[in-house]
Structure 1
Amino acid sequence: MLDVKRLELLLRVVETGSITAAAAELMFSPSAVSQQLRRLEADVGQPLLQRHARGMIPTDAGHVLANHARTVLRQLAAAESDLAEIAGLRRGRLDLGTFPTVGSSFLPLAVSRFRKEYPAVQLHVHSAREEQLVEMLESGTVGVSLLWDYQWSRIPGSRFALTSLFQDPTVLIVGADHRLARRRQVSMADLQEEDWIIRSQGHPVIEVLERSCRAEGFTPRISFYANDYQEAQAMVSVGLGIALAPRCAVVNKHPGVRILSLGESAPARRILAAHRHDRVRAPAEVAFLKTLIASARDYAPA
C-alpha cells in the first residue's frame, strides 16, 4: 500500500525540481526526504526520479505517480474541508425519531430553535410508534429519537443512552358543560361514576386509566374506543364520556372541551431523548440534543 506522505514528498520534488527545495517547503531534512523517496521506489519496484543538470526530474513512472498523487492529495484536502464543515455545523444531516403527541407539540419548538442556529444542517424527522422508533435507533436509521416511559415500564439505561427532558402529566378531558368543567383540578376519586372514552388497540393510556382507577377502588366504565386523541376530544365534547390524555396530546385542544389537572392522582410519563451507547455521534446529533434540553426547560404547554 502506498504511503500518502511519501506521495506528497514525490509530488513536491517533481514540482520544485529539487529535493532540497521540497524538504524546505515541507520542513524535512534533505536526507530524510531522500530516504522516504528510496522507500517509495522500493514500494513501487522501479525508479521514480533521476538526477539532471537542472535538478531532479521524474521518470515515466514518476510522472504517472506524481499525477495520481496530485489527485489523491486534492481529494484528501476536500475531505478534510468537508469534515471541518460538518464538525462546524455548516453542513450535515440529522435523522431524528419522534412520536405523534410530542411531534405535534414540543418537537416543533426544538426544531425551530435548531434551524435558526444551524440553518445548513438538513433535518429529517421520522414519526412512528415506540417499537418502530426503537428499531430505527438500533439499526442506525435515526441517530437520536424521542421516546417515553412510565414508572412501571422504564426503558433500561443499559439499552440506550437516555436523557430525561421533562415530565408529561396525565390530564383529564371533560366537556365544556360537564359538572367539573369549572374546576382547575380534580382527583381520580371524584370520577367513579363517569363513563370513559379510551384509546383503542391496547394504547398505553389504557393502562394509565386502569392503574389510576384501581388505586381508587373502582373499575372504569368504557363508553367509546377512539382511534386518536382528536377523536377522543370530539366524543368528549358531545358528552359521550370523559378521557385521560398526556398533556402533550391536548396542546391542540378541541373548542368544546376543558382540560383539568389530576395532580398526583394519575401518573405522568417521562419524555426522553435516546441514542445508542456504541454510536459515534455526529456533531449535529450532539448539537440537537443540547437544543432539546434547552427547549425542554422553556416548554410549558397550556
Structure 2
Amino acid sequence: MQQQTNYSNELSGKIALVTGGTKGAGKAIAERLKAAGATVVITARNKPDQADPDLYFVPADLSKRGAADSVAKATLERYGRLDILINNLGGSETPAGGFAALNDEHWESTISTNLLAPVRLDRAFLPQMLENGNGVIIHIASIQGRLPLYDATLPYAAAKAGLINYSKGLAKEVTSKGLRVLTVSPGWIKTENVKYFLERIARSSNSSIEEAQQSVIAALGGIPYGRPAEPEEVAELVGFLASPRAKYLSGSEFVIDGGTIPTI
C-alpha cells in the first residue's frame, strides 16, 4: 500500500522571509510558504495592495545601504530567529539600446538591487543562522545569468550571473555548518512587471506590445513549453526546496524556464 504524505504543515514552526514579497513571484512564494505552515515576513518598498494579517510586512528599499540591517532587526526582534530566507527581490529598469544607452547610474542601481541586496541581507542573518546551526537561503536569479539580453537588460543579466556565482561560493562556506544555500533561475515569468517591460521595448522599437513580446521570445531562442511561467509554478519549486524533503540539496542551481535555455 502506497503511503500518502501530507505536506500542508511541513514548514510549521519555521520563520521565513521573502523579499519583493508583495507582487509577482515573491507574492506567490510567500503564499506558498504560508500554506505549508510557515510564519512569513515579506518586505518591499511599497505595502501590498491588499493586506494579509498572516504576512508580516516590513517596508524597505533593499537597494539602499542599511536597509538589510533594518529588516533583520525588525524580523529578529519580533520572532527571535529566521529559518528560511528567500532573496526574491530583483528587476530591471534600464533603457533599451544596448551598451551605449547605459550609464554608471543604470549599472550601479541594477547591481545594488539584484546582487548587493541579497548579499547584504544574507550577511545580516547569517550569524544567527550559523549560531542555530540550521537554515535555508534561496537566491532567485534568472536564466539571463547564462542567456543575457543585450538590448535592454545587460546590467540585470550581469548582476544575476554574479548572484549565481556568489550563491555557489556561499554554499561551499556554510553547508558544512548546517545551512543550505540554493539558487532558482526562472525564465520568463508572467508578472505585473512584464507589461511595463514590454511597453518599454515597444516604445523604443516603435512596435506593438504583441511584437515586443515576440521579440523577447525570439531573443530567448523561443520557449518550447509555449508560454511564460506562472508565478505559482516558480513558488512550488521554491516551496519544495525550502522544505525538509530537499534536505540533501545545497549549492545547486535549479532552472525553471519551460525549456528555454538551449544548451546543457
TM-score over 0.5 for the pair: no
Please state which structure has a larger fraction of its residues in strand: 1
Normalising by structure 2, report the TM-score: 0.31
Question: Highest Rg: 1 or 2?
Answer: 1
